[in-house]
Structure 1
Amino acid sequence: MDAYSIVLQARQSDRINAKEIIDHLCDYFIELHGDRLSGDDQAVVGGVGLVEDQAITIIGIQKGENLFDNMERNFGMARPAGYRKAQRLMRQAEKFNRPILTLINTAGADATPESENAGIGEAIAGSLKLMAQLTVPTLAIILGEGGSGGAIAFALSDEVWMLEKSIYSILSPEGFASILWKDSSLAPQAAEIMKLTAEDLLDLKVIDRIIQESAHTKKQLLEYLSVEIIKKFSSLKQISVQDRIIKRYDRFRKF
């Protein structure tokens, strides 16, 4: 598939989502709400799950499954309250020594004047700073779109995985084409040079692993992901805290 075809696949509404992974992975899950400051952002789903007798914190950016749900969840574009809710849950995970799984599918953070006034830039920066300092094992998985700072605020992790037909980029191909060539219709050409596909980013060592989708039904993919997530957290726990932090720092300093 060419890069723009993958972009279109990544945007499909029927892609595997954070709530489906949570339901399949966890024997029990308690969703937690609110940032204890301004409100509860429905674009961010987070809480504590029990996975094979191990408590883990899961934070996901959730798009809607229909128009009404998308409006409730702001089409997966988190507002400042969403990032501050995620920070609250990460601090809680750090306090109780729980691994953190983040699940990402967003075109980008909410870019409205209201979010700007509420400090969206500071909220994203705060999430990045916090994730860089975490001592618990962390894993981020990009499920569909991984757009700009809205995505990387959830992805400064020990490892970053991408689904085969997902994307991860500084902005959309349409935005790139509009800025560079003043013509958003050139998005397919922009996608080819942006290096935003999973294969491109694995070659560039921006991500650590590609999860193949083509050979799996959704149910099989959920089962496979659950097994691999459990295995990865088990292996990350075997690495000392100091070594994990140094490795994470070195990895992100490279790009």
Structure 2
Amino acid sequence: MAITLKNEHDIAQMRVACRLASEVLDYITPLVVAGITTGELDRLCHEYMLKEQGTIPAPLNYQPPGYPPYPKATCISVNDVICHGIPGDKTLKNGDALNIDVTVIKDGYFGDTSRMFIVGEGSILARRLVQTTYECMWLGIDQVRPGAHLGDIGHAIQRHAEGQGYSVVREYCGHGIGTVFHDDPQILHYGRPGTGIELQAGMIFTIEPMINAGRRDIRTMPDQWTVKTKDRSLSAQWEHTILVTESGYDVLTVSAGTPARPPVVAATTA
């Protein structure tokens, strides 16, 4: 495993790319309404990246080994879609819960973040799952500091999710990021405290738990990208990109519209 510690220049560039990724979500938030298609949301995000930001959508034509090229600028995962939902002709309706996942490239650096949205009021089940998943992400983030271990992050997420009666998807994880989209280390969203590599200042990675209302089992669609819950239960995901600092952490994917830290996480700034 080759983990690259970022220097001051890298960190400054990552702050820009990550803020821009978050600002795409700020822009699209008021447009997530009943009657719009996921394809139209993707088109609007793509247009905003190109025309307003001068950024490149990292997912477009992204092709890891064994996969076809990803055909869209964003991933939009609705209801029982866990991740990598391909935007298309699906029309949003009241009650839908969806994740919009944005990764932009600016001057060779990748900024990666995602948020959950509920169309209209949504069910109690959907709202509770979305909130719990947000808390899971933040409880994982709050473990980040030099000397902590990757297992501390996963354990905090798993304990909270399972304590609320939910399950943690294990096939997908967070990842290192910088001038490479997906880099070492892998950030598992489950685990045992004190295990895994030790965190060091200068590491940058994503924390992006995928939490299911039902069982954790998955099924992959014929497009080879879209991943759904096997039992068709709801799934939720949030994602931030995190810098390990000398004293704790810094969340890089923040902008004017970024939701606040949840009350379950201590109010003190790390």
TM range (shorter): under 0.3
Q: TM-score, normalised by structure 2?
A: 0.25
- Greater share of helix residues, 1 or 2? 1
Q: TM-score, normalised by structure 1?
A: 0.26
Query: RCO greater where, 1 or 2, for CA within 8 Å and sep 6 or more?
Result: 2
- Greater share of strand residues, 1 or 2? 2
